[in-house]
Amino acid sequence: MNDFNRSNKVTGVHWLKKPITSLNIKLHLKPENGIALPNFEDFTNESANLVQTVDATEFNFKWQQKTFSTWELSRYSDIHNCISDTELEYHEIIKDSSIEASKVFTYIHEDNYLPTPKTENLREKSDGFEGLTSCMAKLSLNGTLSRFVNEDTMSMGRLFRSEDNIAVDGDSWMSMHVVLDNSEYNEDSQLLLKQEAVLLSLHHNTTRNYVIVSPDVNTLEWNPYAVETSTGVRWNYVYALQLEFDREDDVDDLEILLKKLKKKWHSKNKHFLNFTMPSIGKKQYFITFEILSAKDFDADELYVEFFIKYPDGVTSSDVHHGRTHVTTSMRSEDEPTQAHFAQTVDLQVEADDDHEPAPIKVFFEVISTDWWGRHRTEGYAYLPLPLDPGHRTRVLTCVRPEEKDKVEAESRRFFVGGCHLLKDLDVLTKPRMQNTDFHYASSGTLHLRWSTVAQSTIACRLPPAQPSVSSASAVLQGAEAVLKQYRKARARLAAATRDLKCHDGGGDSWVNG
């Protein structure tokens, strides 16, 4: 534990977002400043030439990339030294190609250089690599997880889960070690003294798909790691680690593609699927008109009957006629008599897009009732309801046809009453058709309000070739194209993440659980 605290080396756990095969380990090695001057032997030793530059030397390794030390090279080049399959394989590699020895070399999984974390726990610090052991002990026993988690907080749940059963059977590990070779050789690359220091140990848990990096990544400027042997003897080198992933253009492209696709899909969605549009070539009008009140009528109990006539070229909803409720007028000294209706009427009208339709004709007949149940016309009004959009209020003055003879008119009205005096309401629109036997007396006013909203299909968004196709199939076609693209993209995504899934594959049970 002391060791652990004294050194600045901590272990990091990295959750992999990309396949581990694309992992790139970058190691900067540099002689420690000002402490050790290079001695003569170093200059004569060819393998040590690398470190003579003051600048850090960079080493790059891929995951499970075998790099040989001088000693290994000389050992494996002789077939008699090779016993196991791995060693034979190395022999083949060395024999075929001219591989140079590296000062910093790797032990890959097949070398079984150091125990994997699982076996570590079972063996209880059997061999001397205490840094890793303590790290492992800390990782598997201590609750202070936060220091290990550096990047992917989204995966915390997995981390906790794995903390519980890190040593549980079934976890399989792949490890790799980057080792500094500080052995002493003679001129013929004969080994005089074998000295090796582990710079980095990587353990990949293939079940859970995470990597334990010991020590964790660092920077050369801020916290360089000192090279230490397993017993804690320092060599005069400092080093820094970086883990990088191959820039996968494929994935980036896919991301961009998906984003674009989403955007496109949304805009399509917006225009075709989510908003009801009128059929192509038609224009729809939504009119809400309100009969607010009738003012200045003599009678107490009033209602309004209305008739709607649609002009040619306008197909309409089924509203043609309606009656409001009967209401008793309010009388007060300082205000005109008023009867409140507040009735709303919704009309939905469709017309051809290419020409402006004529206004809808709305006729109103204000009728009074009395205690005897007689209905009398109090006044007629006519409103040409233009179909241009807007919100309008209008006060209509009502007129009442009366017989020329005043006495006759009064008496008929008083004794007989009667509504629907006009058989053809179009008279109101065309004054010249008026019957000369009657004159028109103005009575009260009718207060109206209406608002019109029009909707037309937008010309530029129409499918160009098939003007006769109905909007529904156009929608489907658009959606199908989008879906096709989406499927393609998904296939690509699956291809790109196949490796990930492979690693995940073994852990299905707990993913689901």
Where on the chain is the footprint of other proteins (CB under 8 A)? 270-271, 274-277, 284, 286, 288, 290, 292-293, 301, 303, 319, 321-330, 332, 335, 338-346, 348, 389-393, 449, 451-458
Give the span between the Cα atoms of 48 and 43, in whole angstroms: 7
Shortest gap between Cβ of 294 and other proteins (angstroms)? Answer: 9
CB of 104 closer than 8 Å to CB of 59: yes
The token pair that represents 202 in the structure block: 């990587």
For the CB of residue 385, give the shortest distance to other proteins in the complex, in Å. 14
Query: What minimum distance in Å lies between the beta carbon of 388 and other proteins?
Result: 8
Smaller CB separation from other proteins, 235 or 286: 286
* Residue whose CB is less far from other proteins, 30 or 283: 283
Number of other CB atoms surrounding residue 379 within 10 Å: 27
- Least distance CB 390 / other proteins (angstroms): 6
- Residue 329 is classified by DSSP as P
Taking the least distance from each CB to other proteins, the nearer of 7 and 348 is: 348
Q: In the complex, what is the shortest distance from the CB of residue 463 to other proteins, in angstroms, rounded to a whole number? A: 15
Indicate the pairing of strand 225-228 with strand 360-369. unpaired
3-state secondary structure of 394: strand
For other proteins, the closer of residues 69 and 329 by Cβ is 329
Q: Which is nearer to other proteins, 214 or 443 (CB)?
A: 443
Q: What are phi and psi of 134, to 5 degrees?
A: -65, -35
Q: Which residues contact 20 (CB under 8 A, 6 or more apart)?
A: 63, 174, 204, 209, 211, 499, 503
Residue pair 292/340 in contact by the 8 Å Cβ criterion: yes
Q: Measured from the CB of residue 344, what is the shortest distance to other proteins in angstroms? A: 5
CB atoms within 10 A of CB 317: 15
Give 506's contacts (C-beta < 8 A, 6+ positions apart): 170, 172, 206, 207
Q: What CA–CA distance (Å, rounded) separates 82 from 91?
A: 7
Please say which residue, 200 or 277, places its beta carbon nearer to other proteins. 277
- Asked whether 224 and 234 are in contact (CB, 8 A), the reply is no
Residue placing its CB nearer to other proteins in the complex, 71 or 341: 341
| 306 and 362 Cβ atoms separated by less than 8 Å | yes
Shortest reach from residue 178's CB to other proteins, in Å: 45
Q: What is the CA radius of gyration of the chain?
A: 46
User: Following DSSP, what letter does each residue of 371-393 receive, concatenated?
Assistant: TT--EEEEEEEEEEE--S-EEEE
For residue 283, the surrounding DSSP H or E stretch is strand 282-295
Q: Which is nearer to other proteins, 123 or 270 (CB)?
A: 270
CB nearer other proteins, residue 128 or residue 322: 322
At closest approach, how far in Å is the CB of 322 from other proteins?
4
Report whether 290 contacts 345 (CB < 8 A): yes
- The nearest distance, CB 493 to other proteins, in angstroms, is 25
